[in-house]
A and B are shown apart, each in its own frame.
Chain A
Amino acid sequence: MMIAKKISQIQTLIIDGKEVGGRSDETILQVARENDIFIPTLCHLDGLSEYGGCRLCIVHVKGLPRLVPSCTTLVREGMEVTTNSEDIIEYRKGILSLLFAERNHVCSVCVSNGHCELQWLALKLGITHVEFPYIYPKMPVDATHDRFIADHNRCVLCGRCVRVCHEVEGAHTKDVMGRGITSRVITDLMNNWGESNTCTGCGKCVHVCPTGALSEKGKSVAEMEKRRQFLPYLKRMRERS
C-alpha cells in the first residue's frame, strides 16, 4: 500500500509588491530569502527549530491587526506581505536598542568584535545610538569549562545555544531560567559549566551563538569567529537516517 505523503501545495503571494511562490510548509522568511528579500533575524538559524523570540523579523501581513514574526508564519495563498515599511524598521531598531540596553555590550573589548551578529544588525539597520537608559546589570562570567567561556553580559537570550544543544547534540545541558529581566541561560541546575556531567564539550553552542556570550578560551579581542556550516549538514544527515 502506498503511504499517503502530505503534499505541500504551491502558494502564490506578494512580498513587497513582488509576486512570489512558495510551498505551504514554508515560512514568509524562507520564501522572502529565496527571493533575495532581506529580513533581519537573530533567534532564527537555518538548521534549528523556530523560536520566534527576538521579533526582529516582524513583517506586516495585509488584513492582520498586528505585525507577525516572519520566521514562524507560514505563507498562504494570496497573502500580501510588507517587510520593510518605515514603521517596521523603527520597531526593529527599538527591539535592537533594547537588547543593547539590557546587558553590557562593549564591542571594543569583545572577543566577537567584528564577527558579531548583533553588531552587524545594528550597523545594517543604522543604529547610531541607543535611546534607552542602559541597565548595566552585573552579570557573571563562567570560565570554569576547560575550553569555553560563557559571558552573560553579552547574551541576548536568542536561545540558539539551548536549541542546538537539545535538538542537534541531544545533551540539553543548557536552558533558560526565570522570566523577563531575570532570565538567564543556565547549565544544568545553574551549575558551573566546567562541572557539568551532561555537557559533551562539543562546542556547538559556542559556534551558533550570535554574540560574544559564548566563546572559546584563549581568544582575545575580535578573534572569535564562529563556524556554523556543520548545522545544515548535520540536519540533512539526520533526516536521512
Chain B
Amino acid sequence: MNEQQGVGAKGQEDRRIRMVERTMRMYGNEPHALIETLHTIQESYGYIDTDLMRFVSEKLGVPLSKVYGVATFYHFFTLKPQGEHTCVVCTGTACYITGAKNIIDEIGKQYDIKPGETTSDNKLSLLTARCLGACGLAPAVVFDGVVAGKQNPESVNETIRRWFEK
C-alpha cells in the first residue's frame, strides 16, 4: 500500500491493517482463517486489493491462486474496482448516523453511480465499507486509499471534483 496518510487521519491505515491482522490471529494465523480475513478486508477497506491478497497469502500460508480463487468466487467480495479513482464511503454505525447516506446520495446525484459502480468514463468508482476503525472521525471517507475524517457532501464533492479537473 503506497499511499500517504490523510491530513487529520493519522494512523488510520494502520488501524485497518490491524483489524485484518486481528482476524488472522483469532484463527491462529491458520489457512482456514482465509474467508473470515477476506471478510474483514472487504468490510474495512471496501474492496480487496492485490497487495492485501499477497499479505494474507503469506501470513496464512495459503497459495496466491487459492486466495484469488476464493476472493472471486463469493459475490460478497469486491476486487479493486476499474475506476481510475476510488471513493469508499464508510457506512458503519458511527458514520451512518453522522451523514454517510447524504454523502452517497450526493455522489450519486453528481456522477450518476450507486455504490459498487464505476462511472462510464472509468474515472470514479464508488464503494462502501462497514467500518474503517476511524469512528472518532465520523463520517469517514477514503479517497484513493487515504482516509479523510469529518466529511460532508460538500467536502467530498470538492475532492472528487479535483480528480475530474485533471
Contacts and interface: CB of A to CB of B under 8 A. Distances in A.
A189 interface: yes
A179 B63 CA distance: 19
A45 interface: no
A188 interface: yes
Interface in A140-190: 162, 166, 171-179, 182, 186-190
B50 A189 contact: yes
B66 A172 contact: yes
Contacts of A9: none
Nearest to A171: B63
Contacts, number: 43
A175 B73 contact: no
B66 A177 contact: no
Interface in B21-51: 50
A166 B54 contact: no
Contact of A186 (B50, B54, B65): B65
Contacts of A229: none
B102 interface: no
Interface residues on B, range: 10 to 19
A215 B53 CA distance: 29
A174 B73 contact: no
Contacts of A190: 68
B73 A177 contact: yes
- Candidate in B53, B67, B69 with the most chain A CB atoms within 10 angstroms: B69
Given A188-B68, A189-B68, A175 B63 contact: yes
Contact of A174 (B50, B54, B65, B72): B65
29 contacts: A162-B65, A171-B63, A172-B65, A173-B63, A173-B65, A174-B65, A175-B63, A175-B66, A175-B68, A175-B69, A176-B69, A177-B68, A177-B69, A178-B73, A179-B72, A182-B72, A186-B68, A186-B69, A187-B65, A188-B64, A189-B50, A189-B53, A189-B54, A189-B64, A189-B65, A189-B67, A198-B63, A198-B64, A198-B65
Interface of B: 50, 53-54, 63-69, 72-73
